[in-house]
Structure 1
Amino acid sequence: MSTIKQFVFVLLGLIYFNSLQAEIKTVKHSKKNNTIKKWEVVDIAFKADVKNQNPFVIDFVAQFTDPNGKVQIVPGFYNGAGNWVVRFSASVAGVWTYETRSEIKTLNGKKGKLVVSNETSNEHKGGIVLNPEKPRNFFYENGESYFLTAFECDWLYALDYHNQEALPKTDHLLNLLHENGFNQVVMNVFSYDVSWKKDDELKEHPEHEYGAPKDIFPFLGNNENPDYSSLNVEFFKKLDRTIALMHDKNIVSHLMIYVWNKLVAWPEMNSDADNMYYDYVVKRYGAFPNVMWDVSKEALYYGRADDAYILERIKRLRENNSFNRLVTVHDYGFCKRHAESVDFISRQDWTYSLYTNMLDDYNKYSDKPVFNIEHGGYEESPYEVFTGSYVNAETCLKRNYQCVFAGVYSTYYWQAASWNVVVYNPYEQEEGFIKPKFEYFKYMTSLFSKFDFSKFKPTPWHNQAGYCLKSDDTYLFYVPKDTYKFRGEFLFKENESISLQWMNTLSGEYSELLNVNKKQDFESPWYNKADAVLIIKPTNKNK
């Protein structure tokens, strides 16, 4: 191999290796200007030794002032070995100044500047926000619509935990999700193990089992012998890499701070250790634009917590939520009782009347988005992990479409990645391995990249033999494959002619675009083969 070829090979290897690092930009505190890009995450590093005190509960904040004079208080946190960090990101370009405040002398009164450029990297669009003009929908900070399409992966934190250099497994899985239209991962800060019986097949493939890690724990000690006196900084440094890699790929972390049914040895509620952990998570990850907060998975299902505790956790979170990341609770009963306390409604609904229930929620909560975080559809895999009520891939897809056509957002689960079993490279497995139908969601998200979801409203009085979404100039009908004909007379009450096209939800194929100028029924080209979306636009309105 020539010297030039060797150099190119090494250079490409370094580029690839660095792409798996997802390192957070770090700058030492200095009075000199440091420049960052808009929505880039930066760690401003400080040094201070603390003796005879718990550094995780020491008060340390930085008061930032933006170019327009607006003040933002950002909490800092201890990062081990005498290192302290103020983690920051900004959506406003220009010169930001900051000054620290702390009970620790060496951390108090430190002044500095950051220059935020208008430039962005990795096509970042900012955090996920609400728009008072369209309160039922999610948006990016830059104003673009965010069509939330989520994938649950509770053990994502563990995939590359023991790889000190890079995150190749995490990178591979996130790339698959990104390529197939997923833009959010529902995940836990930490999960330990599942309580249900595990598939015997896993004994033959221990590389796919991530439950019951012996040496991973957010506190000192481990899950079997916890030491709640202090937090495990190394655990959080590893989690930093995962969240940062997701940010690089514009994938949102729906970060559930607690989970009660995954056998985690949590400290006693409201104890000093409980508060220390909870506050630290919020302080450490709030600067990431790709974070949305969830207090706990199935927050009130297991008899541990009550409304008062969750309300206190939300209040506590908001006190440190200086970047105003959205907050929810994975418990529909709680969200119903305390809708004013959450930024969006989370619902878990396994029922067969899913569409009707989600439509009811859409109508009931006119002031905020609704997110079906779990609809009982857990697509099959080579391992039976947790079956819920539906495992067929088409059925699981159908339930996501039912949510979307009711005007709400939804989540997809695959049994070999959503819980303790994680097959990060399913398409590289042996022949006969039951692979996920990720591509189904690529076609769905592609549809809503053509048609802005925030401009559509469910229109059930036009449902006929399919579910209807309507914008000012377009009808979308989700038509089940067993619908023989779709009756379209009502379309000609207002229109002389229309354009018509079908999309196959299983292949992403589009039919020929047709112009129709007389009343007729419409027949899907994939009748009895695949559900389809019928796209209709008026081309000539009746006078």
Structure 2
Amino acid sequence: MSSVRKLLLIVFCISVFTISKAEIKKEKYTKSLIAIQKWEVVDISFKAKSKLKNPFVVDFSAKFISPQGKEQIVPGFYNGENEWLIRFSTAEAGKWSYTTSSEIKALNAKKGVLLIDEKGREGQKGGIVLNPEKPRNFFYESGKSYFLTAFECDWLYALDYHNEDGLPKTEHLLDLLNENGFNQVVMNVFSYDVSWNKDKKLAKHPEHEYGGPKDIFPFLGNNDKPDYSALNVEFFKKLDRTIELMNEKDIVSHLMIYVWNKLVAWPEMYSDADNMYYDYVVKRYGAFPNVMWDVSKEALYYGRADDAYILERIKRLREGNAFNRLVTVHDYGFCKRHPESVDFISRQDWTFSLYHNMLDDYNNYKTKPVFNIEHGGYEASPYEVFVGSYIDPEVCLRRNYQCVFAGVYSTYYWQAASWNVVIHNPYEQTEDFIKPKFEYFKHMTNLFSKFDFSKFKPTPWRNQAGYCLKSDDTYLFYVPNETYQFRAEFLFHEYESVEFQWMNTLTGEYSQNMVINKKQDFESPWYNNADAVLIIKPQNKKN
């Protein structure tokens, strides 16, 4: 064999064996100790033959006892082929014991022990939680601030559904998101298709169309001819891979259990099939530390659900939410009427007064984070998928900054990834394809890796010709590109000198760091070219 052929063989083998399998750690039931890492997801597998009509609603759970003696009831679920799983993860290291409980004799009173390693996987920070000392912000279980920067991709589940060997498309897209600062994907468990007209240019690129799958459905049958008597275990096994791959890459799944406007043939509300599906999703995905729950996208639009139904769904979710993952509803009206029912407020706001509306929410909800899940900015792509109100990349970026500088979190949409059209590798397309400006968000998240967002508060009385965030020792001013100069006379009334620097929001470039000790106006180096952030650190406070 020639050296060239040997090299090609090596490269081929590497490429094959480096395709992510996104496998959850799986252990057969044993009385012997099972060792896992902190925050690692483990499936404990039990086998039991049963003649029950519907194994998906079998009563099966395990009572876990923590090293500190605290009880945690974890519901189990059917995984097909006479297999039941208890799926578990925890932030608490040490020795855990458990005992199962079930109406099926072969699943009842099984005892086991897990040893949780304190170290955990390198870089992992755990689930997303709230901090009563800073209730308006998100944090990781590790205690580190979580600067939520979300990306909507409703059809993420479908990218590699038919690939039995790995998730190359999903991994490519997730890596792009990671590289550009996105740490959350707003996604549906299942979406079928869109109701609006599709761009005719898609006909030349069917590989970018994921709407209307004939052989993907969470129940038996398909979306055209559903069979609600049982769930499609293979669908959920495939979704497991996606959620686990996101977990490995520290990307949160903002998992919307329902969606009403994507032509899904859902069973009747409150029906046995509806409850079976809903409860199963909660049981199956609650152990993932990277999951945040959302009952439904646009929960009260389209004339299907009402407040009573969503409240009942939240109650069911919390009863089965053994791992206390955060819960919201993609409906601002519902969140506004029932703030006590959700862990954070979700708002959809397309208005031109976005900043002021989000600032009002920040001030009105002092004990909860606020998340703008949809602001009408849907960045242009090679296809017109859903144009909304704003498609210019810089305008879409500005709307995200307006949310952030109002003290709340935001979401980015690219038309060729957020709905039925998904270009998983946009930078590998031909030159005539419009590429997304993912890098804009890399610069934004880099800024807030330098400055902890949880330490800043919107300070509108200092806005002047921009928007102000303030911490104990730093001012951040978001300055639109059309602002000729930014006045901050108050600083020189209070301080002897100030240190300042500019950041270009489009390129991530920082200007030279300078110190001045006399009153002057600030002029952006990128006036009329790019919005900028002015970073000011006052020095030597006057007596």
Q: Does 1:130 align with 2:130?
A: yes
Task: Tell me the SS of whatever aligns to 2:318.
Answer: helix
- The amino acid that maps onto 1:352 is F
Q: CA deviation at 1:539?
A: 2.0
Q: Does 1:407 align with 2:399?
A: no
Aligned to 1:39: 39
Q: CA deviation at 1:524?
A: 0.1
Aligned to 1:27: 27
**2:6 & 2:427 partners in 1: Cα distance?**
34
Q: CA RMSD in A?
A: 1.2
Q: Does 1:502 align with 2:499?
A: no
Aligned to 1:102: 102
Q: CA deviation at 1:232?
A: 0.1
Aligned to 2:294: 294
Q: CA deviation at 1:112?
A: 0.2
Task: Tell me the SS of whatever aligns to 1:311.
Answer: helix
**1:417 & 1:7 partners in 2: Cα distance?**
34
1:399-439 per-residue CA deviation (whole Å, 9 max, x = no partner) reads 00000000000000000000000000000000121000000
Tell me: CA distance 1:7–1:433, structure 2 relative to 1, closer, same or farther (3 Å): closer
**2:312 & 2:414 partners in 1: Cα distance?**
33
Are the counterparts in 2 of residues 122 and 250 from structure 1 also a CA contact under 8 Å? no
Aligned to 1:320: 320
Are the counterparts in 2 of residues 122 and 248 from structure 1 also a CA contact under 8 Å? no
**1:400 & 1:7 partners in 2: Cα distance?**
46
- Out of 6, 16, 19, the position equivalent to 2:18 is 16
Q: CA deviation at 1:337?
A: 0.2
Tell me: CA distance 1:453–1:273, structure 2 relative to 1, closer, same or farther (3 Å): same
Q: CA deviation at 1:88?
A: 0.3
**2:22 & 2:203 partners in 1: Cα distance?**
33
Q: Does 1:115 align with 2:115?
A: yes
1:367-424 per-residue CA deviation (whole Å, 9 max, x = no partner) reads 0000000000000001000000000000000000000000000000000000000000
Q: Does 1:83 align with 2:83?
A: yes
Aligned to 1:194: 194
Q: CA deviation at 1:10?
A: 6.7
Q: CA deviation at 1:289?
A: 0.2
Task: Tell me the SS of whatever aligns to 1:487.
Answer: coil
Q: Does 1:370 align with 2:383?
A: no
Unaligned runs of 5+ in 2: none
- The amino acid that maps onto 1:282 is V
Task: Tell me the SS of whatever aligns to 1:499.
Answer: strand
Aligned to 1:349: 349
Q: Does 1:260 align with 2:260?
A: yes
**1:132 & 1:190 partners in 2: Cα distance?**
34
Are the counterparts in 2 of residues 416 and 422 from structure 1 also a CA contact under 8 Å? yes
Are the counterparts in 2 of residues 135 and 369 from structure 1 also a CA contact under 8 Å? yes
**Aligned counterparts, 1:438-449, within 5 A:** 438-449=438-449
Task: Tell me the SS of whatever aligns to 1:106.
Answer: helix
Task: Tell me the SS of whatever aligns to 1:278.
Answer: helix
**1:447 & 1:524 partners in 2: Cα distance?**
17
Aligned to 1:276: 276
**1:156 & 1:169 partners in 2: Cα distance?**
10
Aligned to 1:422: 422
Q: CA deviation at 1:7?
A: 8.8
Q: CA deviation at 1:131?
A: 0.1
Query: What is the TM-score normalised by the length of structure 1?
Result: 0.98
1:114-151 per-residue CA deviation (whole Å, 9 max, x = no partner) reads 10001221511000000000000000000000000000
Q: CA deviation at 1:14?
A: 5.3
**2:279 & 2:105 partners in 1: Cα distance?**
22
Are the counterparts in 2 of residues 252 and 290 from structure 1 also a CA contact under 8 Å? yes
Q: CA deviation at 1:12?
A: 3.2
4+ residue runs over 4 A deviation: 1-11
Q: CA deviation at 1:540?
A: 1.6
**Aligned counterparts, 1:482-501, within 5 A:** 482-501=482-501
**2:331 & 2:370 partners in 1: Cα distance?**
12
Tell me: CA distance 1:364–1:406, structure 2 relative to 1, closer, same or farther (3 Å): same
1:484-530 per-residue CA deviation (whole Å, 9 max, x = no partner) reads 01011111121100101000000000000000100110000000000
**Aligned counterparts, 1:178-189, within 5 A:** 178-189=178-189
Aligned to 2:461: 461
Aligned to 1:177: 177
Task: Tell me the SS of whatever aligns to 1:44.
Answer: strand
Q: CA deviation at 1:5?
A: 6.3
1:310-354 per-residue CA deviation (whole Å, 9 max, x = no partner) reads 000000000010100000000000000000000000000000000
- The amino acid that maps onto 2:235 is F
**1:193 & 1:128 partners in 2: Cα distance?**
31
**1:197 & 1:7 partners in 2: Cα distance?**
46
**1:31 & 1:161 partners in 2: Cα distance?**
35
Q: CA deviation at 1:48?
A: 0.7
Aligned to 1:542: 542
**1:242 & 1:150 partners in 2: Cα distance?**
17
**1:8 & 1:120 partners in 2: Cα distance?**
32
Q: CA deviation at 1:13?
A: 3.6
Q: CA deviation at 1:9?
A: 4.6
- The amino acid that maps onto 1:389 is S
Task: Tell me the SS of whatever aligns to 1:493.
Answer: helix
Q: CA deviation at 1:23?
A: 0.3
**1:320 & 1:491 partners in 2: Cα distance?**
52
1:184-203 per-residue CA deviation (whole Å, 9 max, x = no partner) reads 00000000000000000001
Task: Tell me the SS of whatever aligns to 1:299.
Answer: coil
- The amino acid that maps onto 1:264 is V
Aligned to 1:69: 69
**1:399 & 1:303 partners in 2: Cα distance?**
29
- The amino acid that maps onto 2:412 is Y
**2:32 & 2:7 partners in 1: Cα distance?**
41
- The amino acid that maps onto 1:233 is V
Tell me: CA distance 1:515–1:377, structure 2 relative to 1, closer, same or farther (3 Å): same
**1:181 & 1:345 partners in 2: Cα distance?**
23
Q: CA deviation at 1:53?
A: 2.3
Task: Tell me the SS of whatever aligns to 2:76.
Answer: strand
Q: CA deviation at 1:473?
A: 0.1
**2:181 & 2:453 partners in 1: Cα distance?**
14
**1:389 & 1:67 partners in 2: Cα distance?**
53
- The amino acid that maps onto 1:16 is T
**1:212 & 1:249 partners in 2: Cα distance?**
29
Q: Does 1:160 align with 2:151?
A: no
Q: CA deviation at 1:268?
A: 0.2
Q: CA deviation at 1:52?
A: 3.5
- The amino acid that maps onto 2:503 is M
Unaligned runs of 5+ in 1: none
- The amino acid that maps onto 2:252 is V
**1:477 & 1:339 partners in 2: Cα distance?**
31
